[in-house]
Amino acid sequence: MATPPKKTPPKSPRRKRRVSKWRVFLVTFGSAFTLACIALLIYALYAVAGTPDWHPDTLTNQKQTSFIYDMGEKQIAELHATEDRQMVASSEIPDLVKKTFVAVEDKRFYDHFGVDPIRIVGSLIADIKSQSFREGASTITMQLANNAFIENPREKTLVRKIQQAALAIQLEREYTKDEILTFYLNRIFFGESSFGIQAAAKTYFGHELSELTPDEIALLARLPQAPSAYNPYYHPETAKERRNIVLGVMKAAGLITPEEYTQYLEAPFTHVENVKANRAESEKPTFSGADYAYPYFVDHVIEELINEHGLNEDQIYNGGLRIYTTVDTKIQAAAEKEFANAKNFPQSVDETPVQGAMTVLDPSTGAIRALVGGRDHSTARGLNRATQAYRQPGSTVKPLVVYAPAMEKGGFFPGTVLDDMPVKYNAGNGKVWAPTNYDTEYAGWRGLISMRFAVQNSVNIYAVKLMNIIGVEYSWNFGKNNLGLPLEENDKVLSLALGTNHVSTLDMASAYGVFAYNGVRATPHAIVKVLDSSGKEIITPTIKVERTMKETSAYLMNSMLRSVVTSGTGTRAQVGNWAVAGKTGTTSLDPDIYGYRTGNPDAWFAGYTPNYVGVVWMGYDKDDETLTHYLRQVYGGGFPAQIWKNVMTVAHDGLTVQTEFKRPAGIVSGSYDTKSGLLPSSLTPKDFVRTEIAAQGNFPTQVSDIWVEKEIDKDHPAYLAGTGTVNKEKKVFLNITGRDPETPWPSDEKPFQMPKEEYNATPPPTETTTPPLGDAGIPVPIPGIVVYDASQQTAMLPVTYPAGSEGHTLTIYVKFPDQDFIQTYSTQHEISEEIRIPLSVDGESPSPGEYRFWVSLVNSEGVAGNPSEGASLSITD
């Protein structure tokens, strides 16, 4: 029988377990923490993924300030764009500087791996307590990473912090602590456009990093935290307060003694105060743009680096270059002083100043010793008139394109004679060019003159005629190729002889330097060498020194240009006993624009000694519609020559005086006729015989034929002796043909002007005939009572002269009793109050009878006036 199944008793309901709240909290917090960590890791990975690329060169190839040095390798200028950065090696940074920055910025610097966890925690706690995020946790390595590699280093975000940390760790793996600290000190910003500890030392204290004192180091250690707030130029009290806090840190770290701490607490900001006192227009110094000594010279150095050596502005301003130049600061300072003196310039017609420029060269090397491009310098690399203002040189170009080419071509010497008389040339297009001299209108023409005289007195006609003889092409080529003048094709015209081309003072100084250096030309330059930031020489200019004209030709130019300074238009340029040669020059107003106004746009003086050559230009930059901006009675021998003299006096101070230019072999000398340029003849008057020099082979060998001897009618000296002339006299004349008969001869030649025709005597007058009438405009003298001196057989005739008789000579007419005509007895050389008239004829005693006497005056042109009333004398046996 089957057993019935057992009945299971019914189960009671199961109780639910009670979950602990703590466990819930832990599970929830753990989950959230895990998720946060995952999120943070993802965020960190995201941030690290955006970390800027690693470029180690960024640390070494930074923008660095470039330095310029003078000829003595003394620093004169710093060049930088918006940053003044001056790199220094670790060994150049004082140990106290390094330790102070570590103590202030990152005291566990030498212990952490680029990130300081302790500092991070401490900063976080401080931020929580202050409920702000002011505390930074960046180490020196993180700051370096931020400054060097982060595009916007001032942006404060968590992403930036993570990226800084990543870069800092990488920096610590690549470099030593000392290298990192050196990079940091060379990069951080100290305010006032100064980047790096060296630039900051100069900016705030005016000296080198190695010369910093503890109080100065303390200020610099605090500045990077807030360069503007702690700037002593603007906030001296705040700067002092923060500096003293750092002094306390230094004392606590054992870097300075308590005594030093007390000593430096009240230290003044001496350099800052001096800068502020000397800059009336600004309280802060500016370290970019035009704020450097000798600005025009430095500007030219920059242009030379760009235009001749191929550097760009970034390389120049940010490349940390060491640029060694040719400037002599003694001469440069003297030149700037003269250009700053208003007394050295004429008064302007309005507010627009008369400008000027000057260049000084060492002719033996081509080195530019001084360069001034204007009376002020308001804009960096603005108009530098010494090198960029191309003006017409006027007569200063004559030695370069006329006289030197003639000497070099041969066949000419300083005594070569040409005729300074009116001349006309075909100017093309049916036009005629008739050049004149600057003083012809009031001084007249000079006639036959030598080359030396023409150079000395800046005679235009001579220069034009000589260029026409030697050829415009030859002159142009010599000026351009031998002397380096920037001549253009359109300058290849005859007016080039008068300076219608365009040049700068640098161009002219270089060209004149060939004369000073005895015919050798050296490439003009301002740069000696350039080193890069590592000290490697990257630029060494190639200076070409070559002979471009014969030594004898150069010496002859030196001799003639010496005459300009000793007795010509440039006498104001004499410097003590120094041998000084030079040339003045002015340009003329364009008559098509200015009409008949007198004045000149440009005034020049080019001068040199055996040691230096200098050129000065003066004038307005430009004229406007008022047509008033031109010089008035200002010439090269005036203001420009005076500036030249003042600068050169300083330049030659202390040098051994050289009274002569070196005379080479091949120079000969001898006497010559100054009216023919040939050897004197027996007829050459002694007043026209001079001694002159020449290159061997170019002194004349032909005897002068310009003087001729002719007979004149002694009674009528304005005429040659003619048929029937009884009273004749031989006289020497100049045999000159081809002159315009309407043009007056110069005063030294007029006495030798040959009469035009013979005197043809008229039939003897009757006894009743009086002397011929003359020019009624000439004063008539009054004869007195005639007295006879029997012992001398002479008549003594007193004469009274009316006003206006000065400058005249006296002619005497006599009627002898035994003659039936009136005789022109004598022409006196000068008027006298008593005239003695010999009455004896051929040794015979005077015939008895009545003698009649008349007198008349003769002017300087040989024209006689009306005769006087007659005076009588009776002689008995």
- CA distances (Å), 554 to each of 408, 521, 560, in order? 9, 11, 10
Give the torsion through C-alpha atoms of 148, 154, 158, 161, to 10 deg.
30
For the beta carbon of residue 770, count every other beta carbon within 10 angstroms. 15
| Torsion sign, CA atoms 117, 121, 124, 130 | negative
Q: Are the C-beta atoms of 472 and 495 separated by less than 8 Å?
A: no
Distance of CA 275 to the CA centre of its chain: 30
How far apart (Å, rounded) are the C-alpha atoms in residues 635 and 615?
14
Of 345, 458, 348, 451, the residue nearest 396 (C-alpha):
458
Of 690, 741, 745, the residue nearest 417 (C-alpha):
690
> What region, left, alpha or beta, does residue 797 occupy, with left being phi > 0 and alpha being psi -120 to 50 degrees?
beta
| Rg (the chain; Cα; Å) | 48
Q: Are the C-beta atoms of 614 and 641 separated by less than 8 Å?
A: no
Q: Are the C-beta atoms of 59 and 148 separated by less than 8 Å?
A: yes
Show the tokens assigned to 679.
């050897």
Residue type, 423: V
How far apart (Å, rounded) are the C-alpha atoms in residues 204 and 194?
10
Helix (H, G, I), strand (E, B) or coil at 195: strand
How far apart (Å, rounded) are the C-alpha atoms in residues 257 and 848?
133
Beta bridge pairs of residue 581:
608
Q: Show which residues are catalytic.
A: 105, 395
Please name the residue that has the structure tokens 């620093």: 75
Q: Are the C-beta atoms of 449 and 673 separated by less than 8 Å?
A: no
Beta bridge pairs of residue 705:
none
Q: Rounded to the nearest 5°, which phi and psi values hold at 323? A: -110, 110
Q: Are the C-beta atoms of 47 and 158 separated by less than 8 Å?
A: yes
Helix (H, G, I), strand (E, B) or coil at 342: helix
Helix (H, G, I), strand (E, B) or coil at 664: coil
Question: What is the DSSP track for 604-620?
Answer: EEEEE-SS-EEEEEEE-
Beta bridge pairs of residue 391:
503
Distance of CA 656 to the CA centre of its chain: 25
* Range list of H helices, 530-638: 551-567, 591-594
Q: Are the C-beta atoms of 419 and 448 separated by less than 8 Å?
A: yes
- DSSP annotation of 391: B
